[in-house]
Homo-oligomer: A and B are copies of this chain.
Amino acid sequence: MTAEESVSASVDFYFDFSSPYGYIASHKIDALAAQYGRAVTWRPFLLGVAFKATGQTPLPQVPIKGDYARHDLQRSARFHGIPYRHPSRFPIATVAPARAFYWLNATEPARAKALARALYAAYFTADVDISSAENTVAVAAQAGFGADAARAGINDQAVKDLTRVEVEKALAIGVFGSPYIVVDGEPFWGQDRLDQVERWLATGGF
């Protein structure tokens, strides 16, 4: 890669729609990258599939650590000044919102990001269970994307296939948690690595 290509390469932002720390990072990553002239490619994946591959247990089910995590993720949202209401159902399967994202992303990545933000806000501030395809469609409709188009998009076999391929690609490069941010091949796991992401962007590595 030449220096010029490196400067313009986008930052990859992998996240799961059920991940509170992914939600926190989604509020910060684009502005952070923009400071260094970089765009961000959003890449929702399915944490449940990644957990099976690595033999991990969802945080809420880990004794003691799960209780801490429930406390920490709400405190972390307050720390960063981001609205947060812990969902009644947590975690949830997120194939419906992932498909909704990839439905739009193929043609309009900027609108796909707007939809992703609306879905995250619905789940983490308004307690909407977006594991339901109809709830995901309703969020898309409320955000101006059209219920019928969104429903058709989620059910489109090509969108389903694209989503599966994207999840497989994420697993193939070793994405095991959310958020997972890749800058010029360097991986960073967790919203608490945004300080290192920033220095990597500023310095080209350390």
Contacts and interface: CB of A to CB of B under 8 A. Distances in A.
- Chain A contact residues (Cβ within 8 angstroms of B): what range? 20 to 34
A63 B55 contact: yes
A192 B189 contact: no
Q: How many copies does the complex hold?
A: 2
Contacts of A28: none
Contacts of A57: 55
A176 to B, nearest CB: 5
A206 B78 contact: yes
Interface in A24-75: 53-57, 62-65, 67-68, 71-72, 75
Contact of A64 (B53, B64, B199): B53
Given A72-B189, A189-B72, A196 B65 contact: no
A87 interface: no
A68 B196 CA distance: 15
Nearest to A62: B54
A78 B200 CA distance: 12
10 contacts: A54-B63, A56-B62, A65-B176, A67-B174, A68-B176, A68-B189, A72-B188, A79-B195, A79-B199, A190-B192
